[in-house]
Chain A
Amino acid sequence: MYKILRKEVLNPTVTLMDVYAPLVAKKAEPGQFIILRVDENGERIPLTVADFDREAGTITIIFQIVGSTTEKLNHLNEGDYIHDFVGPLGVPSHTEGLKKVAVVGGGVGCAIAYPIAKKLHNLGCEVHTIIGFRNKDLVILEDEFTAVSDVLELMTDDGSHGTKGLVTNALLGLIEEGHNYDQVIAIGPLVMMKFVCQLTKQYGIPTVVSMNPIMIDGTGMCGGCRLTVGGQTKFACVDGPDFDGHLVDFDEAIERSSMYRGFERQKHEETCNLFKKEVQ
């Protein structure tokens, strides 16, 4: 059992938790993920490590409430326990030798982009951050990103905060201004990563994406998380989650991520109704 030491609601659909998991915290690196089960009968879901504190023994997770499991997780509070919490899994992000990087985050993907931006900043790399959200109510980690970025572009779809437009508009602007990036790191919805990669391919900028497909065990056992990368099948859990974005078959990944959408929607509704009944 893994105790929740801190809970912070970042916006109506995104929550942060610090979870006491000292063995995981001792080893975790940016880019890695954990798998958790909320309760005894829960499903296993992967969440990327948003931050870690080796001394306090905590792992920070940031999650969007999209389905039944994240709904249940969000109903837990400080002092409550998560039933299972295993990690760190996957290969850490490569940050060595980078001098100038554009970090692109979309929505809750910013939670994963942040520890990488922070690590790059701490390594002395010039970090240009572009983060995008649907509107100003959904903005997360603005102060945190400001602290670790040499340039910060905040985009919203409706222009209610920052600049109106997509992250690709801002990235194109920076590239056109003449910034030469060693690498672009894009983390967010699959569609966003796909379009970032299309753009950077034109300019020949190496681009790394973080994939978060459906998985069960997270150790290479089920193969449910397989992706096509450069024409070869890869398992996101052990070969990734970071991949060369120019080689990832995003259309296949988008289709695969929708495999259980009907089930998930129905399950989420059931869970919400249960919680409503409890309140009444």
Chain B
Amino acid sequence: MPNMSLKKNEMPVQDPMVRNGNFLEVALGYTEEQAVNEAERCLNCKNKPCVGGCPVAIDIPAFIMKIKERDFEGAYQIIAKSSALPAVCGRVCPQETQCESKCVRGIKGEPVAIGRLERFVADWHNAHATEKPQKPESNGHKCAIIGAGPSGLTCAGDLAKMGYEVTIFEALHLAGGVLVYGIPEFRLPKKIVADEIENLKALGVKVETNVVIGRTIEIDELFEMGYESVFIGSGAGLPNFMNIPGENLKGVYSANEFLTRVNLMKSYRKGSDTPIKDCKNVAVVGGGNVAMDAARSAKRLGAENVYIVYRRGMSELPARKEEVEHAEEEGIIFKTLTNPVEILGDEHKLVTGMKCVEMELGEPDASGRRRPIVKPDSEFVIDVDCVIMSIGTSPNPLIRNTTKGLDTNKWGCLIADENGLTSREGIYAGGDAVTGAATVILAMGAGKTAAKAMDEYIRSKN
């Protein structure tokens, strides 16, 4: 008899007023008992609607049944067939709009906590597994991966498992991409990312950091070096600004810069060599997950008041519901239906405030969301000494500018077909470099698809 509770087992979390002063992980993870109890809520549906909601098609009911049997390693092995980074996805996937949105239990009550169970299984495996993955026998063919983020790591892992000699080229000094420079420690501990990368290395994947493809080496040279196929997973790293007056004042950061300083360069730690401005009142402009990450990081760094400034309403926030709730619990103040028009500074060009206007929602626009319209004579100033612009990113132009014949669309995203193939033979692409800023799991799905296509391409040539 399944557990018919209408509610998920609650995730144990750090107390909001404690955690907003530290960078330790917010969610503490299920115990074995909680995991088994939650697994018992799964009806093991024959038609498995949840699997259709997963971009990498994990056999969800099968791994949950293993949890029910307390065969946690067995559960891990089922997930590992489809996902290269389960400990990461269990934490950062938007399950509520993917697998869990299709769960039959969600029709009446809450869906099965698939994400929390995935995380539990991955953490259990990482804590108990003694054997490293083995390097498969080489098939003698070389593939190059550009960018050590979610899509590149997934593509590399899949190709390595097929026997390819895989090298990942990473521009930064550390592998992980957005998982290490963007997503904060309190949401995704960096140790987890490092462990996943060690697993890839055990499979024989080489990681060359400090190589900027397009500058240090160009893609055409990779082919000369003997790589038969190339995957571009260079992400969407270029921050957008609003182009309003005052954006170059001291104290205005892109979310990318702010988060990179805090996460990758560890400026949240005392004694770090990389500085970050001491701020009392911080406005984060934008309403996505990155904005929530920036706001919650600013709070943890000691800011007294942190505002999310977003031009639409609470229900339009693009961030995951859980992230919004966590932010609210931690004391982040939401100023929705508010849009900045100017950032104000003093004689030393330090930020002193942000001039905003109030908005109201009009008719739905092309995206289907109600279009924000400025309320007349609604100007007001928020008293802040720091502004973090979190209004999206675009792909870096470096690769498209240095590789002949690589087509892009009007937003600068690489054009790739459903298999990830670009306009150049042998060159595949996926993740944010193709879609523009999206999610970790979609990037992983693209990396997987491309790995399969690259394998077919190389085999068709030989």
A residues near B, CB below 8 A? 23-24, 27, 37, 41-44, 68-69, 83-89, 216-217, 219-224, 226-228, 233, 238, 252, 255-256, 258-260, 263-264, 267
Given A219-B398, A222-B239, A233-B243, check contact A259 B212 (CB 8 Å): no
A223 and B349 form a contact (CB under 8 A): no
Q: How large is the interface on B (under 10, 10 to 19, 20 to 34, 35 or more residues)?
A: 35 or more
Q: Which residues of A contact B209 (CB under 8 A)?
A: 84
Q: Which residues of B contact A24 (CB under 8 A)?
A: 216
0 or 1 for each of B215-236: is its CB under 8 Å from A? (1 = yes)? 1110000000000000000000
**Which of the residues A84, A85, A220, A267 comes within 8 Å of B238, measured between beta carbons?**
A220
A27 and B248 form a contact (CB under 8 A): no
Stretch at the interface among B191-199, B256-264, B335-343, B359-367: B256-264
A27 and B215 form a contact (CB under 8 A): yes
How far is B425's CA from A117's CA once the two chains are assembled, in angstroms?
42
Top-6 shortest CB links A-B? A222-B257, A86-B210, A255-B349, A263-B275, A43-B273, A221-B237
Q: Which residues of A contact B272 (CB under 8 A)?
A: 41, 43
How far is B247's CA from A42's CA once the two chains are assembled, in angstroms?
28
Q: Which residue of A lies closest to B348 (CB)?
A: A255
B212 and A44 form a contact (CB under 8 A): no
Q: Which residue of B lies closest to A261 (CB)?
A: B275
How far is B274's CA from A220's CA once the two chains are assembled, in angstroms?
18
Q: Which residues of A contact B349 (CB under 8 A)?
A: 252, 255-256
Given A23-B211, A255-B348, check contact A220 B396 (CB 8 Å): yes
Q: Which residues of B contact A43 (CB under 8 A)?
A: 265, 272-275
B250 at the interface (CB under 8 A from A): yes
Q: Which residue of A lies closest to B247 (CB)?
A: A233
10 sample A-B contacts, Cβ–Cβ < 8 Å, listed by A number: A27-B215, A43-B272, A86-B173, A217-B171, A219-B215, A221-B239, A222-B254, A223-B238, A226-B241, A260-B275
B254 and A223 form a contact (CB under 8 A): yes
Main SS of the interface on chain A?
Answer: mixed
A87 and B212 form a contact (CB under 8 A): yes
The number of A-B residue pairs with CB atoms under 8 Å apart is 108
Taking the closest CB of chain B, its distance from the CB of A87, in whole angstroms, is 7
Q: Which residues of B contact A267 (CB under 8 A)?
A: 273, 275
Q: Which residue of B lies closest to A221 (CB)?
A: B237
Q: Which residue of B lies closest to A68 (CB)?
A: B273
Taking the closest CB of chain A, its distance from the CB of B113, in whole angstroms, is 34
Taking the closest CB of chain A, its distance from the CB of B182, in whole angstroms, is 10
Given A85-B210, A89-B215, A263-B275, check contact A223 B260 (CB 8 Å): no
Given A84-B209, A87-B212, A89-B215, check contact A44 B173 (CB 8 Å): yes
**Which of the residues B215, B254, B397 comes within 8 Å of A87, measured between beta carbons?**
B215
How far is B212's CA from A44's CA once the two chains are assembled, in angstroms?
15
Which B50-66 residues have a C-beta within 8 angstroms of A?
Answer: none
**Which of the residues A42, A222, A238, A255 comes within 8 Å of B398, measured between beta carbons?**
A238
B250 and A219 form a contact (CB under 8 A): no
Taking the closest CB of chain B, its distance from the CB of A242, in whole angstroms, is 16
B277 at the interface (CB under 8 A from A): yes
Q: Besides the contacts A224-B254, A256-B248, what 8 more A-B pairs have beta carbons closer than 8 Å?
A: A24-B216, A41-B273, A43-B273, A86-B212, A217-B171, A221-B237, A221-B256, A222-B256
Q: Which residue of B lies closest to A24 (CB)?
A: B216
How far is B261's CA from A27's CA once the two chains are assembled, in angstroms?
29
Q: Which residues of A contact B239 (CB under 8 A)?
A: 221-223
Q: Which residues of A contact B237 (CB under 8 A)?
A: 217, 219-221
**Which of the residues B216, B257, B265, B274 comes within 8 Å of A86, measured between beta carbons?**
B216
Q: Which residues of A contact B273 (CB under 8 A)?
A: 41-43, 68-69, 267
B266 at the interface (CB under 8 A from A): yes
How far is B216's CA from A23's CA once the two chains are assembled, in angstroms?
6
A219 and B260 form a contact (CB under 8 A): no
B172 at the interface (CB under 8 A from A): yes
B216 and A87 form a contact (CB under 8 A): yes
